[in-house]
Structure 1
């Protein structure tokens, strides 16, 4: 009997070392999946459950609806409405501006250098937020900002005309700096998924550009555009550092109110802060569900 048969056993039988390697390679994905679920449990599900419990817990440890009822009071209801209005306004403007920008740079004949430049800027600007963004806008459009002072020299006093960077519309202008580039990034794959053959088929059937967009282009892009609007809405709704650094609470927004209640800058009321956080979780959860459903709807066209 040869040594190969003696050491290796029957033909086709795996060696113990080989079986161990295969077992290890099969177990590694399960380990990473388990670590991912532990991460979600520790930093998402766990805090969410804690917020839910604390929102209905009184100071003496009993059940109460007092803090949740305050969400429907005039002051905090106004904060939710203002936050929703700011998020919707910036999302709507960003959807229109970002869609037009992405469409222009994806059109045949657009110079490659211009397409690369816009995509590179969008990738950087979409992640430029928080205190650095607020400081950049204060330095540019604040009361003593560079652009504000330059406009005064040419006879245009924007603050005298009623504009203020530290107001609702000032926040809208600031948010658009990262909302529009984010829209360009997330809508580009949908535009790239639109096949040239669809336009050619519409033209061959006697239609024109308007017919193509009305019967093909708009229906195909609608799910992706709606999903993008919801994503941008949630992105703006949860922003904290930028409006806090820019307005210091002059505009009532839910994230800032939560920060004030939890940090105790004005009055410490953690349970009310948890109730406000619960309201944000409900809004963001609904946005995530709608976004997922719309992404599945849009995915039907991308697979064809």
Structure 2
């Protein structure tokens, strides 16, 4: 029987080089898809954001007027309002979703986990105009719950910042439950047993072991919640319209032509602001996911 080829004599080298050589044609369609569906719109957006049209001559010129205008006045207030709404809802959804997920993980009833996971998967995708209609019919001025418990006498209004927070939490809390469940499952029972054998209490275990290990996953989930709330549009547009300053609603109004002459590209500048914030969110979330996978993998 002839001896097997040794890896040192280059017996397998041609095969490896050929494998590397044939990988590029496979990924070319993927990069072409990215270039057409993402690169071209992104380039058009950036070019339009820094282009100003002269209303008299119709000529265009490169300027930062659109970007500076999108960060000041009412448009700056809309960006601030979206960031504030996203921060509040992300914090609340992270805390509530983590507590619910921990209750599910520690529950002795396996059926409860299946019910909660299934319900969370459905509710996490129930947003937009249907969710807004459901909240208006329930907690609106003439809503069922509002009339039943006389919530209007307490000063509560669904068409306010508080109402938006409640509506956003409806789909963000289930999304956080689904996001953080794998991280909680990754906590090994041996760690708690080892801590208990060393005389540590349950609180000390969570303070020195559980929470530090879960911190990257929790921060990653919070960043994901922030991005989800920041990009949501339909729910707020149907519920509050333009009564609450949000950048997504302002972009929609600008695209519909509700801007001054010469500010036609202002929506592109506001969209560029959203893209920059989304890129920052991704830049924070990806390292957190890698660190969480290293601890819990």
User: Bigger CA drift: 256-265 or 233-242?
Assistant: 256-265
1:113-149 deviation line (CA, Å, top 9, x unaligned): 2111111110000011110000011111111111111
Residue aligned with 1:160, SS = helix
Match of 1:43 in 2: 37
Match of 1:121 in 2: 119
User: Bigger CA drift: 172-181 or 55-64?
Assistant: 55-64
Structure number with greater Rg is 1
Which residue of 166, 173, 178 corresponds with 1:180?
173
- Offset of residue 171 of structure 1: 0.4
Match of 1:302 in 2: 296
Match of 2:185 in 1: 192
Residue aligned with 1:62, SS = strand
1:39-59 deviation line (CA, Å, top 9, x unaligned): 322222221121111111111
Verify: 1:288 aligned to 2:287, yes or no.
no
Match of 1:76 in 2: 75
Which residue of 254, 257, 268 corresponds with 1:264?
257
Residue aligned with 2:60, SS = coil
- Offset of residue 71 of structure 1: 2.3
Residue aligned with 1:58, SS = strand
Unaligned segments of structure 1, at least 5 residues = 1-24, 152-156
Unaligned segments of structure 2, at least 5 residues = 1-18, 54-58
Count of residue pairs the alignment pairs up: 273
Match of 1:101 in 2: 100
Q: Does the 8 Å CA contact 2:120/2:174 hold for their aligned counterparts?
A: yes
Match of 2:139 in 1: 141
Residue aligned with 2:199, SS = coil
Shift of the 78–185 alpha-carbon distance from structure 1 to 2, 3 Å rule, reads: same
- What does residue range 210-225 of structure 1 map to in structure 2 within 5 Å? 210-225=203-218
Shift of the 29–149 alpha-carbon distance from structure 1 to 2, 3 Å rule, reads: farther
How many Å separate the matches in 1 of 2:160 and 2:245? 10
Residue aligned with 1:270, SS = coil
Match of 1:22 in 2: none
Please, what TM-score do these two structures have when normalized by structure 1?
0.85
Q: Does the 8 Å CA contact 1:261/1:267 hold for their aligned counterparts?
A: no
- Offset of residue 163 of structure 1: 1.1
How many Å separate the matches in 1 of 2:24 and 2:135? 47
Please, what TM-score do these two structures have when normalized by structure 2?
0.87
